Amino acid sequence: MVGETQWAKCGRFTGTTDIELTKGGAAQVSSAAVSLVGTDKFLDPSRLVHNFVSPRKRARQTFELLLPHFQEEKVTFTEDIAEWNYGDYEGLDAGEIRDSRKKRGLDRETEWDIWRDGCEGGESRQQVTERLDRLISQIRDIQKPYMNGEKPVDVLLVAHGLILRCFVKRWLGFSVDFPLQMILAPGAIAVLSYKNNNINEPALHVGMAFPAMASTEEEGGS
């Protein structure tokens, strides 16, 4: 997920607005890169066959901090993994959105829920579903021939909090409005895969083992 922005700190819905990471957000991603990115680390660039990145500035910054020496031919900046287009709700927080809708006579029986109701002037859940399914199909086409480990075919997504949670739901075959509660902190890394090396059994790693570190003897120490 992209690092922290000023709007994210304030709980404001940030979709198409092209704002940068805060200093803290950039430091957050840089720290993750040092700890988690590298040969035989949690995110090994040598295992990446492609990267799909949101075209928003904050996502590009996050990607460049994670992988400063990336190969351009292995990167696609695509609206398919851009944040949900919040339309008229851009820059508002959830409370302001709900208050505005109620004042206009909406949501008399149930509270507004973005997963179910979408955004006025922005995207519906169906539109989000269609673009995520298109991306998932691309990823599975890349990985399907190598499900038995013939070669590493890891794919990295660098995107935003809400759309990535939508992506997880679609990856697992759930609707965007399926009540699967998730927390994804700024700068966090999550892992999706397949059960039993089967392309038809997409899965979520609820616990991921870190690669074993080389021992002192292996590194040439005494």
Span 41-66, average pLDDT: 96
Q: Is 76 annotated as a binding residue?
A: no
In Å, what is the CA distance from 189 to each residue of 31, 43, 183? 13, 9, 11
Q: Is 86 annotated as a binding residue?
A: yes
Q: Which amino acid, residue 147?
A: M
Q: What percent of the chain has pLDDT over 90?
A: 86
Span 202-208, average pLDDT: 88
Q: Is 121 annotated as a binding residue?
A: no
Between CA 4 and CA 23 the distance in angstroms is: 9
Ordered structural domains, the chain, with CATH = 6-204 (3.40.50.1240)
Between CA 102 and CA 110 the distance in angstroms is: 10
pTM above 0.85, yes or no: yes
Q: Which amino acid, residue 24?
A: G
pLDDT of residue 102: 95
Which residue has tokens 């035989």?
40
Q: Is 187 annotated as a binding residue?
A: no
pLDDT 10s digits, 132-187: 999 999 999 999 999 999 999 999 999 999 999 999 999 999 999 999 999 988 88
pLDDT of residue 214: 55
Which residue has tokens 């609707």?
175
Q: SS3 string of 192-205?
A: EEEHHHCCCCEEEC
What is the chain's length? 222
Q: Is 165 annotated as a binding residue?
A: no
